[in-house]
Amino acid sequence: MSPEQKLERLKELADQAMSCPDFVKFHDSPSGDPYYRFLFLVAQEFRPKIMVELGVNFGEGSANLAAGNPDGIVIAVDARFENLKHEQIGKILNIEMIAGETLSAVGQVHQHGAPNLVFFDSDHEEQYVHQEFKAYDPICALGAIQIFDDLNYHGVRPVWEHDVDGLKFEHPGLHGEAGIGIRVKT
Ligand SMILES: C[S@@+](CC[C@H](N)C(=O)[O-])C[C@H]1O[C@@H](n2cnc3c(N)ncnc32)[C@H](O)[C@@H]1O
């Protein structure tokens, strides 16, 4: 499948996620959950061997990725695991948790190999978003799927507009007003 075809398929999966049932659900999110269902569908369809969630919170993103592709590994990075209700994801066998800043964890993540999927959702301050993208993009495999959450918050939009180039689209409904963008690395 060419990168262009992959992007088109990702658009179809995003639309499908808007109306399909939940796969793994930990709590009710006020901003809506279709993007969790999207993560499951993407993992199920593309079978990314190495999946990374940067900023994990309750862990629903990692849990959906892990359930979508039980043969892959999810590396879940968060600086504040101790404050979070992560008991559920701690029990999921194909999730490895790294406690620390995402920028410090890049080497540890890379030890697993080149990520095939990265979900960017940690610090949304512009300089941090910029540095995080510049740190993780080079270690991603060609054809990697990159998902940027909360495009309309804080500093994410400028980085999405100016640094995240190439094959990409923004989905209007997948994460409500917060916005979400998807890129295929070429
Ligand atoms: C928006 S929440 C993540 C939500 C999660 N991805 C989801 O979709 O359910 C942001 C998370 O990023 C973490 N975080 C913020 N800045 C960070 C940093 N510099 N390094 C690592 N984690 C960070 C916070 O502790 C928080 O759990």
- Coil, strand or helix at 120: strand
Annotation: CATH topology of 3-22+29-184: Rossmann fold (3.40.50)
Nearest ligand 1 atom to the CA of 132 is 19
Task: Give, for ligand 1, the residue of 80, 101, 154 to mutate: max count of ligand atoms closer than 8 Å to Cβ.
Answer: 80
Show me where the domains of the chain are located. 3-22+29-184
Residue bearing the CA closest to ligand 1, atom 11 = 55
- Pocket lining: 60 vs ligand 1, CB cutoff 6 Å: yes
Locate the ligand 1 atom nearest the alpha carbon of residue 59 and give its number.
9
**Residues 4, 11: Cα–Cα separation, whole Å:** 11
pLDDT digits (tens, 9 = 90+) for 71-97: 999 999 999 876 555 567 777 889 999
Phi and psi angles of residue 103, each rounded to the nearest 5 degrees, phi first: -70, -30
Ligand 1, closest atom to CA 80?
25
Task: For residue 166, report the phi and psi dihedrals to the nearest 5 degrees.
Answer: 90, -140
Could you read off the pLDDT tens digit of each residue along the chain, which spans 186 residues?
999 999 999 999 999 999 998 888 877 665 558 999 999 999 999 999 999 999 998 888 999 999 999 999 999 999 987 655 556 777 788 999 999 999 999 999 999 999 999 999 999 999 999 999 999 999 999 999 999 999 998 799 999 999 999 999 999 999 989 999 999 999
Q: Is the CB of 146 under 6 A from ligand 1?
A: no
Per the CB < 8 A criterion, the answer to whether 59 and 81 are in contact is no
Q: Is 79 in the pocket of ligand 1 (CB under 6 A)?
A: yes
Global pTM exceeds 0.85: yes
